[in-house]
Amino acid sequence: MKKIFFIVLLVCGFLGQAQIVFKNRDPKGSLPKFIIKNSETEIYNKLGGKENLIQAFKQVPQIYDNLDGRSRAKMIVSVTDNVARRTFVVTYTLYRQTQKYAAGIEYTIDFHDKRPNKVFNEYFDSI
């Protein structure tokens, strides 16, 4: 009986999706949350009080530093459309002693016309 329960539990664990949900520290921020799933990163914005998915990338931040009790990960993605080039620098840190995450997104909009560039920095905590 114990073996059957363990096998069922193991299968359920493999079928479940690993994800980390980050919520903005500033409730009035332009990017209220982002989600890192198995192999995808989703970034949401706030329009009319509702959260809408604005970007979904088929990659996740990769760990680049793992020394001092923290695991740091970073991802840089650019998207170009008719109006501007948008660059997202997504970083997060896992504090291994407390198992808590902190994250940040630097969001740069480089307009194709003469408008000045805009840079937004948003900071997040895991839920």
Domain assignment of residue 121, yes or no = yes
Tell me phi and psi for residue 124, to 5 degrees.
Answer: -130, 155
Domain assignment of residue 13, yes or no = no
Domain assignment of residue 53, yes or no = yes
Domain assignment of residue 54, yes or no = yes
Mean pLDDT calculated for residue range 17-43: 93
| pLDDT bucket at 31, cuts 50 / 70 / 90 | very high
Q: Is the pLDDT of residue 15 over 60?
A: no
Strands 62-65 and 100-111: unpaired
Domain assignment of residue 42, yes or no = yes
Evaluate whether 90 touches 74 at the Cβ level (below 8 Å).
Answer: yes
- Please state the domain count of the chain: 1
Average pLDDT, the chain: 88
How many whole angstroms separate alpha carbon 68 and alpha carbon 5? 38
Q: Which amino acid is at 2?
A: K
Domain assignment of residue 92, yes or no = yes
How many whole angstroms separate alpha carbon 44 and alpha carbon 37? 14
Domain that holds residue 119: 18-126
pLDDT in tens, 58-94: 999 999 999 899 999 999 999 999 999 999 999 999 9
Domain assignment of residue 5, yes or no = no
Q: CA Rg, the chain, in Å?
A: 18
Q: Is the pLDDT of residue 34 over 50?
A: yes
How many whole angstroms separate alpha carbon 84 and alpha carbon 78? 10
